[in-house]
A and B are shown apart, each in its own frame.
Chain A
């Protein structure tokens, strides 16, 4: 019964959390699932922009929590997908307007309404992060193949383990296979080897993402984009489907290595 509540977090900022939330939501909704995403980045909202819904906002998450509107009134329906909704963050409030138990209550109410609740977490490990992970059934840590981002992801995973949130899933975003080949970037194996959690997917660096962000049309709706394909695959894995990893590397070895690694780590 009820929805699955998933929170995407990272430690470091600017790694692609908001992008991932929008794309996974779009991919699940395009697959016939009923989805609501919640922007947990109070004070710095931008999920609405990435989804192209900013000019439809009337009420936000703080309005719901403080009882100024009903939950339904704050759920903005997507322009393209009828089963996709967004609850935007408040722009003019700070994080102390929301508590972890507020988020749990909000999500409990949403559980009856939809199949998936996807929460966009702010960067860091402070209050906004805590609010975002409080209601989660599953947490996804997203990182870039870059030393400082991986270091922060490792720290967040340590905190999630200590909070008994279980071992999170991992998304590696903005991988550039050519740079990996030249040893100018950490490989997916390097990242996974250090973090030792279950890999949900690797999303390549793709300029379509930036174009899509600016247009407010998540790249998962673009049939030709590699990043869009990667996000669609992750969405299917979330549903429990066994989807092979994309072969991002033209050399054709990455996929085998990855399946070997994930096979080991998830056992």
Chain B
């Protein structure tokens, strides 16, 4: 049995293992990972595995393939951590987590007072069910947010399309954050730590802006000014 190859770094978590892969060609590191697990069947049997792949830009097919090979060895892949948006997106499409812990609101820094000059994440597509997009800034979606899709942003969320999924703006506690959408019929919408209550199940059609006004979350028709 060989020692841990230098491509892998293994760490125990409370409820599973975290393996960090070195920045080498994907073929090499994924083979090394599978070989290592293959040699230590009894140790890895039934393990819950989170994988940190660093900068690797991986496609759905790469991750799905690795997930299936791991599951053949009795290892269940539940999270893929990466700095690459391609990889994060692929992981989200497969329903894998992209971070180890869901941050709780209390842990966040005090809210910034203004985000006026920050850049936004621009997504020119419809977010379909199973996709989760997270951003430390604002998010603009040129497309729909379908039921089962989720957007979490520290700043504003603007949907130039139909918002039918779940959104959380000001997710780090910023009550200045806003949500705007051409059609607002979300499964769930939150700003900072407050849920938007949609009293009317069939709201008036047309663009809406959701923001705090005097400490209350309000849903208003969007007015050109």
The total number of A-B Cβ pairs within 8 Å is 52
B contacts with A, residue count (CB < 8 A): 22
**Is the CB–CB distance between A162 and B59 below 8 Å?**
yes
Partner of A155, one of B59, B89, B126, B130: B130
Partner of A130, one of B61, B90, B93: B61
**Is the CB–CB distance between B64 and A130 below 8 Å?**
yes
In the complex, how many angstroms separate the beta carbon of B143 from the nearest chain A beta carbon?
9
**Is the CB–CB distance between A125 and B128 below 8 Å?**
no
Residues of A within 8 A of B64 (CB): 125-127, 130
In the complex, how many angstroms separate the beta carbon of A9 from the nearest chain B beta carbon?
14
A152 at interface (Cβ–Cβ under 8 A)? yes
CA distance A194 to B59 in the complex (A): 25
B16 at interface (Cβ–Cβ under 8 A)? no
In the complex, how many angstroms separate the beta carbon of B64 from the nearest chain A beta carbon?
6
Please give me the residue from chain B that is nearest to A164 by CB atom.
B59
Given contacts A127-B68, A151-B147, A194-B146, contact A158 B129 (CB under 8 A): yes
Partner of B128, one of A96, A147, A155: A155
CA distance A154 to B60 in the complex (A): 16
Given contacts A126-B68, A162-B90, contact A155 B148 (CB under 8 A): yes
Residues of B within 8 A of A125 (CB): 64, 94-95
Please give me the residue from chain A that is nearest to B127 by CB atom.
A158
CA distance A19 to B129 in the complex (A): 25
Given contacts A127-B68, A151-B148, A154-B148, contact A162 B129 (CB under 8 A): no
CA distance A196 to B164 in the complex (A): 14
Taken residue by residue from 144 to 162, chain A's Cβ proximity to chain B (1 for < 8 Å, 0 otherwise) reads as 0001000110110111011
In the complex, how many angstroms separate the beta carbon of A150 from the nearest chain B beta carbon?
8
New contact pairs (4) apart from A126-B68, A158-B131, CB-CB < 8 Å: A154-B130, A155-B130, A162-B93, A163-B61
**Is the CB–CB distance between B93 and A158 below 8 Å?**
yes
List CB contacts (< 8 Å) of B20-77 with chain A: 59-61, 64-65, 68, 72
List CB contacts (< 8 Å) of A146-204 with chain B: 147, 151-152, 154-155, 157-159, 161-163, 194, 196
List 11 A–B pairs whose Cβ atoms lie within 8 Å, in order of A's numbering: A125-B95, A126-B68, A130-B68, A151-B147, A152-B129, A154-B128, A157-B128, A158-B93, A162-B59, A194-B146, A196-B126
**Is the CB–CB distance between A162 and B89 below 8 Å?**
yes
Residues of A within 8 A of B148 (CB): 151, 154-155
CA distance A155 to B149 in the complex (A): 9
CA distance A194 to B65 in the complex (A): 29
Taken residue by residue from 6 to 24, chain B's Cβ proximity to chain A (1 for < 8 Å, 0 otherwise) reads as 0000000000000000000
